[in-house]
Amino acid sequence: MDNQFDSATPEQKLWNLTNELRTPVEIIRGYASVIKKDIESNKFDPETVLKEIDRIAESADKIEELLDELIDSR
């Protein structure tokens, strides 16, 4: 029984990391869409766009952290 638990742990960790990666990816997609629509409609505020770009960068950093964690766990 302990062996089954041990063998399932990496799978569960991979599952959790995969799910955690989805959130920042969706944030990146969402903010990119907002920026695109704002630019296309000529209704964008540079300050707001800069905040959205910062959020995209933060999400990319989170993805990098998760990938590093995944690589380090192998």
Asked whether residue 14 is domain-assigned, the answer is no
Q: Count up the domains in the chain and report the number.
A: 1
Helix (H, G, I), strand (E, B) or coil at 42: coil
pTM (two decimals): 0.67
- Token readout for 64 is 């990098």
Could you give the CA distance from residue 38 to residue 31 in angstroms, rounded to a whole number? 10
Question: Is the pLDDT reported for residue 68 higher than 70?
Answer: yes
Residue 5 lies in a domain: no
Structural domain for 68, as ranges:
24-74
> What is the Cα–Cα distance from 5 to 61, expressed in whole angstroms?
31
Q: SS3 of 44, please? A: coil
Chain segment 15-57, per-residue pLDDT in tens: 877 888 888 899 899 989 988 998 899 887 889 889 989 999 9
51 domain-assigned: yes
Reported as a pLDDT band with limits 50, 70 and 90, residue 14 is confident
- Residue whose pair of structure tokens reads 């399932």 in the numeric block: 8
Would you say residue 64 lies in a domain? Answer: yes
